[in-house]
Structure 1
């Protein structure tokens, strides 16, 4: 938004806003500087660029809002930027862990919500970020926050009699040690049935034994239904 004042030629040199690429007069563009979210997301560029006054106000207003879904805007960033790769792993672990705490005692769930509020999307949508959080990635602050939350949740799960009963025994090797889906570096979770295995025992290229059993049972049911013919129709 500008004042509609003529610019260029005899009216004075125009100033370009790095956010919207539009031209502004010297009163609407006073060379304020700000990071540009799109430059961070697509170029990992945290430099401040000159923006118009209205743009500066807008960017300041939305800085804490979780508006950017990196899973849709630039999913390749996780394979290029090591910090984002690490944060994605932490947020996925937190997503698994919160399921355990939320199905535990109400006081446990409330305490986790209290620690995360008002940024519940950190464990609900692992790809969602605000401009402020992208800046915290660069400074290392977001990594510290997520590691603290993951450590808190893991400590609870490992010592809680209820949560420890919700683990899995690997069906492939039958190792009696319980495994959990939040152990992302050593486990594999089936996308269909959510069963957890050791990553050394199972991957997406191998058939899941639980899914195979379900498939076989369904085939048996379908065979029985097909073979049965009521007396009235015989």
Structure 2
């Protein structure tokens, strides 16, 4: 339904032939004042619309408006049933929300951290991966990507509840990576300073990850005027081979065990 992404506008009673959108009985004029559903913008009779109030997803994503609005009975039940399902794609509907709401930008960054961390834990012991899944179940989509949210997720953003939940999972995962003999070796050595201390992509405050080759550097080292050395090597090898096709041979000289 487009109502999840677009704020509903009233269309006028004539657009529905002066009939209730729910049961088709006559409304308006001599038949009584209709009630408007703020979720779909249509008009309903008093039996189909009992002034139930609920959150409107489109108002939250576009206006960061968490006030409950009056909705018809059908949509009231529908929104309740959908509350915990991840059907709201913020990046498609209103990506600028991250620019204007600091709490949403924090959530986005936490989810990116989880995406990096799950790569480590899912290639470790099965028991570790299961522990990770249990901490966030049934909201697996929170570490599978960063776009989808449920209405329940968005309702937890202003209170800090969602951020707190994600931080607990991140704390568990990072503690494991640093202490695990296998996972701790799946990091990088910054080629730009050659500091022997291993760094990781999930250390987002201190590191930069090349969007092309995924190599990780210190954020302070990777300035705009310093190109990625691994990408440079690949480009050089491609020019030597006279081909624009990416080379399949991995480049192992700058990392411990690349993830």
TM-score by length of structure 2 reads 0.83
CA distance in 2, matches of 1:206, 1:54: 58
Matching of residue 86 in structure 1 with residue 89 in structure 2: no
CA distance in 2, matches of 1:124, 1:203: 29
SS class of match (1:138):
coil
CA distance in 1, matches of 2:41, 2:171: 44
CA distance in 1, matches of 2:33, 2:150: 34
SS class of match (2:70):
strand
Say which structure is richer in helix.
1
Deviation at 1:175, TM superposition (A): 1.1
CA distance in 1, matches of 2:63, 2:224: 32
CA distance in 1, matches of 2:226, 2:86: 37
1:200 to 207, 213, 220: 220
Q: Does the Cα contact within 8 Å between 1:15 and 1:26 map onto a contact in 2?
A: yes
Q: Which residue of 2 aligns with 1:229?
A: none
TM-score by length of structure 1 reads 0.92
Q: Which residue of 2 aligns with 1:64?
A: 84
SS class of match (1:188):
strand
Could you say which structure has the larger radius of gyration? 1
Q: Which residue of 2 aligns with 1:50?
A: 70
Q: Which residue of 2 aligns with 1:231?
A: none
Deviation at 1:206, TM superposition (A): 3.7
Q: Which residue of 2 aligns with 1:215?
A: 235
Deviation at 1:87, TM superposition (A): 0.7
Q: Does the Cα contact within 8 Å between 1:188 and 1:203 map onto a contact in 2?
A: no
CA RMSD in angstroms, aligned pairs only: 1.3
- Listed one character per residue, the Cα deviations across residues 117-172 of structure 1 (whole Å, up to 9, x for unaligned) are 22111001112100011001122211111010000001001111111101111000
More displaced stretch, 185-194 vs 107-116: 107-116
Q: Which residue of 2 aligns with 1:145?
A: 165
More displaced stretch, 111-120 vs 151-160: 111-120
CA distance in 2, matches of 1:2, 1:108: 50
CA distance in 1, matches of 2:58, 2:111: 22
SS class of match (2:178):
helix
SS class of match (1:172):
coil
Deviation at 1:194, TM superposition (A): 0.6
Q: Which residue of 1 aligns with 2:148?
A: 128
- Listed one character per residue, the Cα deviations across residues 64-83 of structure 1 (whole Å, up to 9, x for unaligned) are 11001111111111111011
Paired residues in the alignment total 223
Matching of residue 20 in structure 1 with residue 20 in structure 2: no
2:196 to 173, 176, 195: 176
SS class of match (2:158):
helix
Deviation at 1:204, TM superposition (A): 5.7
Deviation at 1:203, TM superposition (A): 4.4
Ranges of 4+ aligned residues in structure 1 off by more than 3 Å: 203-206
